[in-house]
Amino acid sequence: MLNRNPAAKTLALLACLVMMASTARVASAQGQLSQLPSAAPLDDRALAEALCPIVYPVDRVPSSRGYRYLFYGNAFFINKDGYLLTAAHVLSQLHGGQPYLLLRTSNAAPKFVRASVVAVDRDHDVAILLATANPFASTDTVSLLPLARESPVPGRTLLLAALRPFKPREAYTLEPAFEERSAGEMLGFQFSQLEKGRADTELFLFNHAVESGQSGAPVISLDSREVVGLVEGQWLRESPAEVAGLDHLPQRRSAAPSTASEVVPVPGAVLPIHYAIALLQQKSVDWRTASGKVPESEQEGEIFVPPAPLSLVPAPYPSQSLFGGEVVLDALVARSGIPGDVKVISGDQPFLTEALAAVRTWTFLPARSSGHTVEARIAIAFEFPQPYVPPRSSTVHHYDEEFWSAAQDSAALPLTTVEPKYPSVASTEGTVILYESIDRQGHVRSVQTLRGVEPLTAAAIAAANEWRFTPAKRSGAAVGSAAIVVVSFRRPLVSHHRPLSPKGPES
C-alpha cells in the first residue's frame, strides 16, 4: 500500500463518497441487473466487493484525482485467505513487473495491495494470485465468489461481471469505475489454441461481445449463483470468417438490433472454471461452492470409495483425423486428487496426444478406504466415433483378459467396448462424459451423466451399458471401482440413415 499525506486522505474520503453516490454504472445496452432473468435476486453489492482490478501504480504522490495507475484486467476473490483467480495473459502484460490489486470497498478509500503470483497455467490461460495484505483479515468489506462443479448447459443465462476504468492507461484512484453487468445465453463449447504452440483449450461461447479490459472477469450462472468461467479476452475475432467450426452453434441477436433480423455472428468466449479448479487443487488452495466448502468425500462410512470426478474437461476431436479412434488409460489418482502414473492401455495418434493432454487437467475427490484418503486407480476411456461415414452397426473392441489378470493393482479395465452410434435424429455435435460405477465382478452397476447433450447422451449411455470390464484390483484383491468414459461426437458428413432409391441413381 502507498503512503498518503493528510491532504490526500481528505481527497480520498471525498472520492469515496462520490463513488458510493454514483453506485454501480452498468452498460445501458445490457440492461439493469434487476431486469435479468433469475430464479432469485443476485447480490450485486457482494459481487462488486469480490471484483478486484489488476493494476500497476504510477504515482508515488497523489494528485487531485488520486494516484494514477495502469489497468490490465480483472481478478476476483475465491476464499477468505485472500486468494484470487484471473487470466494468465493479464499478468503477462506486466512483463515481469509486480502486479497490484486496486481494492475498492464501500467503507474505505481505494488502495493498492500487492499481489503475489501463486501459480500460472499458460496452456489454459489461468492464474492464481494472493493478496499479500489479506483484506478479509481487516475491516475492508470484501466478498468471495463460489465456484461451480457443474458445467453450464447451452441455453442457460450467464452474467458477466467486470470492473474497469474509463481510461485504462490514464486512470486515477479517485475517479469512479465502470461496473459492467452483461447477461448472455450460453451457446456451446469450442476448442481453440489460445497461443501458438500451446495445448488446445476448451472454451464455451455466449452471446455477448467481449470488450478490452474484461479479461479475467467472472462469468456467473444465474441458476446456481456460482462462477462457471473467466472471460477469455485472447479469443477476440474481428470477423465471422475468423470463427472456424461454429456453424453448429446458434447465432446471437445483438443487444439493441436496428432491425428484427440483425445478428451478431461473433460470440464472446469464456474459459471454463474447471481449468482453474484443477490448478487450485494442485496447489492445495481451498475454494467453495454455493452450498459450502467442497467435501472431501461424497460417501463416508463405506469401506472403499473410488475416486469421484471433481473437474473434468474433454479432449478435442483431432481436426486431421479421417477416421474414428479409441483411447483407454489406467490412471493413479493420488491422495491430492490429481491423476498421475497414467498407463496407456490402448490408443493411437492423434487421439492419444489429445486424451493425455486433457487428463493432465483433471481433478478428483480422492478415494477413501475405511474413512482414510488413499490413492487408487481409475479407468479412463475416450471414444471418437467415425465422423464421416458412420458404420451401419456399432464398432466393438475386444481386449485380452489374461493380460489384465497379471496386474496386482489396476483399474477396472475394459474387456469389451462399444462405440456409440450417431443418432439419426441428431443434428449437432458435442461431448458426453459418463461416470460408471463398477462392482467387484466387473459389471457396470450404474451410469451417471457428468456432461451431456441430447440426443447424444442417450446414445452414449446405451453403448456404455454394453461394456464389460475386468474387476479392479488392490493388492491382488478385486474391489469396486469406477471408470470415466468421454465420447466426442462429430456430425457425420454422410448419413447412412438416408434410404437408397430402389430405382438407382438418376441420370
CA geometry: angle at 211 spanning 248 and 166, to 5°?
165
Question: Residue 15 gets which letter from DSSP?
Answer: H
- Residues 226, 146: contact at Cβ < 8 Å? yes
Cα–Cα nearest to 275, from 248, 243, 313 = 313
pTM of the model: 0.79
Q: How far apart are CA 24 and CA 218, in angstroms?
A: 16
Say how many C-beta atoms besides its own lie within 10 A of residue 304's C-beta: 17
Q: Which residue has the cell 470390464?
A: 469
Q: Where in the chain is the domain with CATH 3.30.2420.10?
A: 295-489
Residues 6 or more apart whose Cβ sits within 8 Å of residue 114 = 98, 99, 100, 101, 131, 132, 133
Q: Which residue has the cell 475475432?
A: 237
323, three cell numbers: 477416421
Q: What is the DSSP string of 35-79?
A: GS--SS---HHHHHHHEEEEEEE--SS-BTTB-EEEEEEEEEE-S
Say how many C-beta atoms besides its own lie within 10 A of residue 405's C-beta: 11
Buried residues in 485-506 as b, exposed as e (16+ CB within 10 A): bbbbbbebeeeeeeeeeeeeee
Q: What order do you get walking across the sheet with 414-418 strand by strand?
A: 396-398, 414-418, 468-469
The domain defined by 295-489 carries CATH number 3.30.2420.10: yes
Q: How far apart are CA 19 and CA 24, in angstroms?
A: 9
For 193-302, strand residue ranges (E) read 201-206, 218-221, 227-231, 252-253, 263-264, 268-272, 288-289, 292-293
- Strands 376-384 and 481-489 turn out to be parallel
Q: Which residue has the cell 457443474?
A: 150
Report the sign of the C-alpha dihedral through residues 356, 360, 363, 368, in that order.
positive
The domain defined by 6-271 carries CATH number 2.40.30.60: no
Give long-range contacts, CB 8 A cutoff, 24+ apart: 339-346. Answer: 339/364, 339/378, 345/399, 345/413, 346/397, 346/399
Q: Which amino acid is at 234?
A: Q
- Residues 234, 249: contact at Cβ < 8 Å? no
Cα–Cα nearest to 33, from 22, 47, 21, 20 = 47
Q: How far apart are CA 144 and CA 46, in angstroms?
A: 8
Beta bridge partners of 269: 205
Q: Where in the chain is the domain with CATH 2.40.10.120?
A: 6-271
Q: Which residue has the cell 452498468?
A: 26
Encode the chain (507 residues) as per-residue pLDDT tens digits.
344 444 444 444 444 433 443 333 333 333 434 444 443 456 788 888 999 999 999 988 888 999 999 999 999 999 999 999 999 999 999 988 999 999 988 777 889 999 999 999 998 999 999 999 999 998 888 999 999 988 888 888 999 999 999 898 899 999 888 888 988 898 888 888 887 777 788 898 888 778 888 999 999 998 889 999 999 987 654 444 344 444 444 443 333 444 444 444 568 899 999 999 999 988 989 999 888 776 554 444 457 788 989 889 999 998 877 788 899 999 999 998 999 899 998 888 999 999 999 999 999 988 888 778 889 999 999 999 887 766 566 678 887 766 555 567 888 888 888 888 888 776 788 899 999 999 888 888 899 999 988 888 999 999 998 899 988 888 888 888 899 999 998 887 765 444 434 444 333
Cα–Cα nearest to 490, from 430, 415, 411 = 430
Q: Which amino acid is at 427?
A: S
- Residues 399, 414: contact at Cβ < 8 Å? yes
